[in-house]
Amino acid sequence: MFVVARGIVCALLIVCSVPCRAAEPATLRVSVIPTSVLAPLYAGIKYGYFKEEGLNIDLAPTAGGAIGIPGLVGGSYDIAFSNNVSALSAVAQGIDVQLLAPFPEGAADETAVIARKGEGIKTGRDLAGKTVAVNTNRNVIWLYVREWIRKTGGDPAQVTFREVAFPQMIDALKQKQIDAAFQINVFVIAAGKDPALEIVSFPYREVQPKVQPSQFLATRKFIEGNKDKVARFLKALKRGNEWFDAHIGKDELFSLVAEFTKLPEAVVREMKFQPVAKKVDADELEKTRDLMKREGLLKADVDVKKMIYAE
């Protein structure tokens, strides 16, 4: 009896003497593009919020948010940055994606139509017979600039839309390859400083001031099979959101955004940062859906409320 007991004690001592190893963090593959609205995600990574939730975030840079959804379906990504038009189109095609969380607000003030100064382009009516650059045809930028043209007296059918990558739009405009461009934040800032160019309008603001163009999303299949990981992701992201909101206008935020976007900090300081939206807004998503139906991007109704993930 004594020998057995002594053996048990020795075994316990041996087990206790072996260092305990923490469980390996779970990895989430997240597609991203270098845009300032992803600052809360990068804050969560930099300050260890995801690590504290036992998550390793494996970032996969892509050229645009629309690429994220095929990556979700193909298994390349678990969570994607994408836009509302791509998400609605996916659902209409039978791809069951769920919108997990919105981004910082302010898109209405960060994207603008720019044109050459002195050429009389002030409204959509002035673009008849002219060429407008968009990053992707039949997607979110294309959709909202067409509606802005319509709202300001023009006819989108009389305008040619040319796909041009955002970084090349200003050069194309100066070389008169296009007549106007719908640009995003950093390039709008550059255009505002260029004496040859002018900011014509802010289509989001004029068409739908509270639009939420982009969200994090995942497939319902992935969510249902990984509810704990998704919950931990959202918990850490919420802390990133809180950090972001608390640091608007502060050096730490400017430095963080400059670091992951590779932009000069002087440019970042001119960006307009606004707090993170508290939820994905179904009413705003419905407005986008209705615009898509008008433009023929959707043939049938989509129940947007079923697209919004509820923990």
Last residue of a domain, one of 175, 207, 239: 207
Looking at residue 107, what is its pLDDT? Answer: 67
Q: What band does 228 get if pLDDT is binned at 50, 70 and 90? A: very high
The number of distinct structural domains making up the chain is 2
The contacts of residue 78 (CB under 8 Å, 6+ apart) are 28, 29, 30, 72, 218, 222, 226, 229
66 domain residue, yes or no: yes
Measured in degrees and rounded to the nearest 5, phi and psi for residue 150 equal -65, -45
Last residue of a domain, one of 145, 177, 207: 207
Same domain membership, residue 49 and residue 185: no
* Among candidate residues 216, 188, 212, the one with its CA nearest the CA of residue 272: 188
- Hey, what amino acid is at 48? G
Per-residue pLDDT tens over the stretch 129-185: 999 999 989 999 999 999 999 999 999 999 999 999 898 999 999 999 999 999 988
Same domain membership, residue 219 and residue 97: yes
Name the DSSP letter for residue 211.
Answer: -
6 domain residue, yes or no: no
Give the mean pLDDT of the chain.
90
Same domain membership, residue 83 and residue 224: yes
Residues 120-126: what's their mean pLDDT? 98
Per-residue pLDDT tens over the stretch 23-43: 689 999 999 987 899 999 999
Looking at residue 16, what is its pLDDT? Answer: 42
pLDDT of 15 above 80: no
Task: Identify the burial level of 38 via C-beta atoms within 10 angstroms of its C-beta, where 0-12 means exposed, 13-18 middle and 19 or more buried.
Answer: buried
Q: Which residue has the higher pLDDT, 181 or 301?
A: 181
Same domain membership, residue 231 and residue 96: yes
81 domain residue, yes or no: yes
Measured in degrees and rounded to the nearest 5, phi and psi for residue 119 equal -100, 10
Q: What percent of the chain has pLDDT over 70?
A: 92
Same domain membership, residue 252 and residue 112: no
Q: What is the pTM of this model?
A: 0.88
Measured in degrees and rounded to the nearest 5, phi and psi for residue 82 equal -150, 175
* Among candidate residues 248, 219, 228, 225, the one with its CA nearest the CA of residue 309: 219
Same domain membership, residue 203 and residue 140: yes
pLDDT of 12 above 80: no
Looking at residue 1, what is its pLDDT? Answer: 41
Looking at residue 41, what is its pLDDT? Answer: 97
Same domain membership, residue 135 and residue 196: yes
Q: Which residue has the higher pLDDT, 108 or 18?
A: 108
Same domain membership, residue 121 and residue 201: yes
**What crossing angle do the helices spanning 84-92 and 282-294 adopt, rounded to 10°?**
70
Residues 200-214: what's their mean pLDDT? 93
Same domain membership, residue 113 and residue 101: no
176 domain residue, yes or no: yes
245: CATH: 3.40.190.10
Looking at residue 23, what is its pLDDT? Answer: 67
**Rounded CA gap, 125 and 10, in Å?**
88
Burial of 293-307, coded b for 16+ CB within 10 Å and e otherwise, reads bebebbeeebebeeb
Same domain membership, residue 233 and residue 190: no
Same domain membership, residue 99 and residue 141: no
Burial of 224-234, coded b for 16+ CB within 10 Å and e otherwise, reads eebeebbebbb
21 domain residue, yes or no: no
**Rounded CA gap, 164 and 200, in Å?**
19
pLDDT of 18 above 60: no
User: Domain range spanning residue 262?
Assistant: 26-105+212-307
Task: Count CB neighbours of 114 within 10 A.
Answer: 25
Per-residue pLDDT tens over the stretch 57-115: 999 998 677 789 999 999 999 999 999 999 999 999 999 999 999 888 876 678 999 99
10 domain residue, yes or no: no
Task: Count CB neighbours of 168 within 10 A.
Answer: 15
The contacts of residue 225 (CB under 8 Å, 6+ apart) are none
Looking at residue 11, what is its pLDDT? Answer: 42
Last residue of a domain, one of 207, 230, 263: 207
**Rounded CA gap, 153 and 77, in Å?**
42
11 domain residue, yes or no: no
Same domain membership, residue 62 and residue 79: yes
**Rounded CA gap, 87 and 214, in Å?**
9
Q: Which two tokens stand for residue 93?
A: 């095609």
**Using CA of residue 121, residue 123, residue 126, residue 131, what is the dihedral sign?**
positive
156 domain residue, yes or no: yes
- Hey, what amino acid is at 98? Q
Q: What band does 204 get if pLDDT is binned at 50, 70 and 90? A: very high
Alpha helices by DSSP H, 182-281: 185-193, 203-207, 220-225, 227-246, 251-261, 265-268
